[in-house]
Structures are given as structure tokens and as C-alpha cells.
Amino acid sequence: MQDYTPSPYLTFSIHLDGNQERHDASVCREGVFDKCIEVIRKARSRGFRVTINCTLFQGESPEEIAEFMDMATELGVEGVTISPGYQYERAPRQDVFLQRKESKQLFRDIFKLGKGRKWRFNQSSLYLDFLAGNQTYHCTPWGNPTRNVFGWQKPCYLLVGEGYARTFRELMEETEWDNYGTGNNPKCANCMVHCGYEPTAINDTFAHPIKGLKVALFGPRTQGPMAPELPINYDDEQQSGPRLVAEIKPETKGRDDKQQVA
């Protein structure tokens, strides 16, 4: 940290998946949460911009997340990027991720508890409204492309087995975008991650600014019917993803029988 100076163009994004027990269980290592909190406090004391990146998994309660958001507010972070975990194909554990309907109800319950609190999310109001089940969105995976040492990843950073493009032009022009996204590919069935749906929400905000402003002022709707799901354009036999029945237990002692969840 001493190698950097505060700047409006520099933000430290800290990975924290909930409270101490929850986060240390999700990364399979004790003490990581406390170290992150120490770093956040040090960075804020030196004037750096800091955000938190949080992924929610099965077994988390709205009250637990509300407590986490209160803590983030007290730490003085600029905002929290939050989304439900997605069962991407190379995750070491496939049994800890939320399904779409389960995710939407969880976020409705969280936002209901957040009424009147000064929580700060590092996301658009319409993406939060989407998480609460109030918007029907298609994924826009090219909105947040990933480039690494292998090239430009197709179609997003979560589907690592789809190959790479050598250039951005090749990524945009040769990727079969219609083959991906919820309703088009069983690998994307339960995905609600911000890398694909935040760009869609941003486009919707520019197209319908009054709708976005209303949600920003009053928060996502937490009652009433949810927006319809996208139609499924593949056979049920193609759906090979496992049923989600387990949860990440906030138990961190002993690591031999644990697998890390990214």
C-alpha cells in the first residue's frame, strides 16, 4: 500500500463474502476476514477509495447480510458490490450456489431490512431491482469482457471452457453470443451475476431514466409478483447442472475435507 498514493482513479476492491465465520468458511482459511478488515481500515485511514465485493451463497439469512452491510457502512467503504454466487462449471463445489427464485427472494428480504438504513451499493439501482425479481433481463456478457494472459475470454470470465479470442475485434465478431445467457445455455441457467446483468441494467437506465431514478429514490420493490423468467430455448435433457441442496457452513477448523469456493 505504501507504493501507492490516494487518487480518484484508484480503488481497492476487497473480497468479503459476509461476516467472519461465513467468509473464512467460503475461502477455507481462518483469519482472512480479520486481515481484510485490518486492510480496509488502514486504506481508509490513508485516504484511499475502498469498495467491497461480496458473493452470497446458500444458507445465508437476510439478517446476517443486513448485519454485514451495517458493518460495511461503519467501515466507511464507498460501496458494496453484491450478487448471488453462480455455479460456474469449474467451481470446486457445485452444491453451495443459489437458484434464481431463491436468490430473488433473498434479495427482497435483504432490501426490506435495508429500508431506512444508509447502505451504499456499488451498483446501479436497476441491477438491484433485477436481483429483487422486478426486471426481466437478458445477459450482456460483452459489457464486461475479460482479458488475461490467454487472450479475450469467451463469453465471460465465468465460463472458462469456451475458449479465447486473440483480439477484441475477434471476441466481438466471432463469439456466438446467442448461444449464451439464461434461457439459451444450461450453463447459464441460474446466473444473475453483475458482470453480465449490470450492463443490461445500465442500458435500461439510459433508455428509461425515470424508472431508474424511482428505484434509486425508493429502493427495489420487495412485495408483489416477480417479473417473468426468460423462456428456455433448450431441452430439459441438456440441463446437466446439479441440484443445489447444501450450504457453506460457518465452520473453519480443519481443512483436509474442505474445498475452496472461488
Average pLDDT over residues 95-124: 86
Provide the residue count of the chain: 262
The span from the CA of 245 to the CA of 65, in Å, is 20
**Phi-psi region at 121: left, alpha or beta (left = phi > 0; alpha = psi -120 to 50):** beta
pLDDT at position 144: 93
pLDDT digits (tens, 9 = 90+) for 201-231: 999 999 999 999 999 999 999 999 999 999 9
Q: Which residue has the higher pLDDT, 161 or 95?
A: 161
Cα–Cα distances (Å) from 255 to 24, 245, 251, 259, in that order, read 11, 22, 10, 8
Give the pLDDT band of residue 94 (cuts 50, 70, 90): very low
Across the chain, mean pLDDT equals 86
pLDDT at position 259: 36
Residue 104 in any domain: the answer is yes
Residue 130 in any domain: the answer is yes
Residue 2 in any domain: the answer is no
pLDDT digits (tens, 9 = 90+) for 230-261: 998 887 555 444 333 333 345 444 444 433 33
Residue 145 in any domain: the answer is no
**In angstroms, what is the C-alpha Rg of the chain?**
19
pLDDT at position 41: 97
- Count the domains in the chain: 1
Strands 11-15 and 49-56, sheet pairing: parallel
Residue 121 in any domain: the answer is yes
pLDDT at 262 over 80: no
Average pLDDT over residues 36-51: 96
Q: Where do the DSSP E strands lie in 63-175?
A: 79-84, 147-148, 151-153, 164-165
pLDDT at position 242: 37
Q: Report the side by side order of strands in the sheet with 151-153.
A: 147-148, 151-153, 164-165
Give the pLDDT band of residue 57 (cuts 50, 70, 90): confident
Residue 110 in any domain: the answer is yes
Average pLDDT over residues 83-109: 69
Q: Where do the DSSP E strands lie in 104-233?
A: 147-148, 151-153, 164-165
Residue 33 in any domain: the answer is yes
Cα 199 off chain centre by:
13
pTM: 0.83
Residue 243 in any domain: the answer is no
Give the pLDDT band of residue 99 (cuts 50, 70, 90): confident
The CATH number for 55's domain is 3.80.30
Average pLDDT over residues 5-27: 93
**Residue 214 belongs to domain spanning:** 11-139+181-238
